[in-house]
Amino acid sequence: MSLEITFLGTGSAFPSPARGASALVLRREGQCWLFDCGEGTQTQLMRSHLRAARITKIFITHLHGDHIFGLPGLLCTLSLQSSPDASKAPVDIYGPLGLRSFLGRSLELSHSQLLFPCTVHELVPTRDQCPAEEFRDFSGLDRGEALPQALPGRVLHLDPGEDSYLLLEDEQLVVRAFRLFHRVPSFGFVLEEKPRPGKLNVQKLKDLG
């Protein structure tokens, strides 16, 4: 399995002319997976050899602005570059609880509409992931309100046995999230490649005894 990582931004707090806010892309078999989407990520993508249209999954570590302020704009640009297609696979977005509300409100207040399917999978944090005075319970955000553009997706809880969150699994790899301690609940992501059995030429082995 071929994996390639491109750092689009490694700065914190705010972007600078020479250094973008947090964002990196993992390229895997023609797909691009984006990790964090700080302000200016679109511009950094244009300067790279990557194509934004190839992004199929987005992973957000936490809800500080230097990691998410570029996301609504990127999604709107992807929408402008696409045509309505109900059969198209959705762009999957993974991030902390509250991300769905942030995106839904951003799209609603900016009168934006996504022309491609998009799902937001929220990870429910535990209270020990940040200082007690900083923890906010976002489980009730937008409850009972019908947003014009509701974003579907799963709500994922910690698996105590694995001490992680199972995000996705296919024939080649497993992707999990694990808890980090930060000023707000934060998550890291692990891509684990599955064992690949080798191929043996049985006849050749027999010929060699």
Q: In what order do the strands lie in the sheet with 186-193?
A: 165-169, 173-180, 186-193
Rounded-to-integer distance, Cα 125 and Cα 181, Å: 11
Q: Closest by alpha carbon to 93, among 172, 141, 145, 37?
A: 37
Q: Where are the domains of the chain?
A: 4-207
- Predicted pLDDT at 146: 66
Report the pLDDT value the prediction gives residue 149, as an integer from 0 to 100.
65
DSSP secondary structure string, 136-185?
---TTTTTT---TTPPP--EE--BTTTTBEEEEE-SSEEEEEEEE-SSS-
Whole-number pLDDT of residue 196: 82
Q: Which amino acid is at 199?
A: K
Q: What CATH number has the domain spanning 4-207?
A: 3.60.15.10
pLDDT in the model for residue 16 = 83
Residue 194's Cβ-count burial label (10 Å; 0-12, 13-18, 19+) is exposed
Token digits of residue 24: 């990196």
Helical axes 71-80 vs 99-109, angle rounded to 10° = 60
Model-level pTM? 0.90
pLDDT for 147 = 65
From 66, 85, 159, 163, active-site residue: 66
Burial-class residue 87 by CB neighbours within 10 Å (0-12, 13-18, 19+): exposed
Tell me the C-alpha distance between 86 and 46, whole Å. 27
- What's residue 140's pLDDT? 84
- Secondary structure class of 205 (helix, strand, coil): helix
Query: What residue ranges of the chain have pLDDT lower than 70?
Result: 85-86, 144-149
- 128 among known catalytic residues: no
Asked if 65 and 88 count as a contact pair (C-beta separation under 8 A), the reply is no
Alpha-helical (H) ranges within the chain are 41-47, 65-68, 71-80, 99-109, 202-207
Give me the sign of the Cα torsion angle 5, 32, 181, 177: negative
Nearest to 37 by CA among 117, 128, 102: 102
What's the confidence (pLDDT) of residue 29? 85
